[in-house]
Copies of this chain bind each other. A is one copy, B any other.
Amino acid sequence: MSKTTELTLAALAEQLDAELQGDPDYLIRGLAPLAEAKPDQLSFLSNPQYRPQLDTSHAGAVILHPDMAEHFNGNKLLLENPYLGFARLSHRFDQQPIPVKGIHPSARVAEEAQVDPSAAIAAGAVIEAGAIIEADCIVGANAVIGAYCHLGAGTHVYPNATLYHNVRTGQRCLIHANSVIGGDGFGFAHTGQAWEKIAQLGGVVLGDDVEVGACTSIDRGALGDTIIGNDVKIDSQVQIAHNVKIGDHSALAGCVGIAGSTQVGQYCMLGGGVGLSGHLHITDGVQITGMSLVTGSIEERGIYSSGTGAMPNKAWRKNAVRFKQLDDMARRLRQLERQLQQLEGHTQES
């Protein structure tokens, strides 16, 4: 394990521009949830529901909203958005090794590639001809950056990730291990007997501050580019097909699949396993809950869902069978209503 970080509360408060109440020289060596924090750890209270944990927490200090200050007697950092403060401090305690700048002797960088001297190219990485790697980029071990790619400053490509040719990233993107950006879109014409591949001539463009999870794939465009907006966060095991467009600040949880040419707006959130058909338009601010199937465009912001939740198998079997009779049931229900109406008329007459 690498060396532990030690920071004074004063230093942490200064970074957050937070009001410090307590001992400015108190040393913090890590972060932890309220219920698990030790005396050398900093915690935070974001959800008021956890307020009772303040009474029993052993945290050495807590980040709190000013309104909550009175509920904790120990060291505290007061901040409007404690969770955001926690997020910002988290990077101070990150033990992720900082790579050595420069090109590892075992990395293979094509002569025609441009690598900024401040970039770190790890062992076994391959940078192909015409690629441009800007300042402070990190390319992890055995990652492959294809020809004519362009990595914006501060972008980090993790080990074994693959960028095909002509992929552009903005600044400060994170592309996690074993992800693939720019693989061929799934495009074929049919001769009547067999499939004829359509060359995928477009590229992929990522905005600034895009994060791409592990084992995620983003296909290159067929004609024109696949486009991922600024600050888009994509989790692991996600599939984004050719010519998809994702608007700024949207977030896609794990196992999402988006078919070709679909456009997702800004500030959208797709839950885990959501599937979007191709050629749809999803407007800004749409949230879709986990494992929903979306086969039509969504033009109104809001929360959308599909599917049914798990239940004991025995009950499920009975209900699932009935699903196949649902249209029949609806027709019979309508028929009953008609009959009953007639009958009521008849009875009232009688």
- Measured CB to CB, the residues of A under 8 A from B are 1-2, 30-33, 36, 81, 83-84, 86-88, 90-91, 93-97, 104, 106, 108, 122-124, 126, 128-130, 140-142, 144, 146-148, 158-162, 164-166, 174, 176-180, 183-184, 186-191, 193-201, 209, 211, 213-217, 219, 223-224, 231, 233, 235-239, 241, 249, 251, 253-255, 257, 259, 272-273, 275, 277, 287-296, 298, 302-327, 329-330, 332-333, 336-337, 339-340, 343-344, 346-347, 350
Asked if B213 and A215 make an inter-chain contact with CB atoms under 8 angstroms apart, the answer reads no
> With the chains together, A288 CA to B309 CA distance in Å?
12
Asked if B257 and A257 make an inter-chain contact with CB atoms under 8 angstroms apart, the answer reads no
Partner of A126, one of B31, B97, B142: B142
> With the chains together, A70 CA to B184 CA distance in Å?
35
A160-B178 in contact given A217-B213, A302-B312, A308-B307 (Cβ < 8 Å): yes
Partner of A196, one of B84, B194, B241, B298: B84
A-B contact pairs, 17 of them (CB 8 A): A95-B166, A97-B147, A124-B124, A124-B142, A126-B141, A141-B144, A142-B160, A160-B178, A162-B177, A186-B253, A195-B231, A215-B215, A217-B237, A239-B255, A291-B293, A303-B313, A305-B320
Asked if B254 and A255 make an inter-chain contact with CB atoms under 8 angstroms apart, the answer reads no
> With the chains together, A33 CA to B261 CA distance in Å?
13
Partner of A199, one of B90, B251, B332, B344: B90
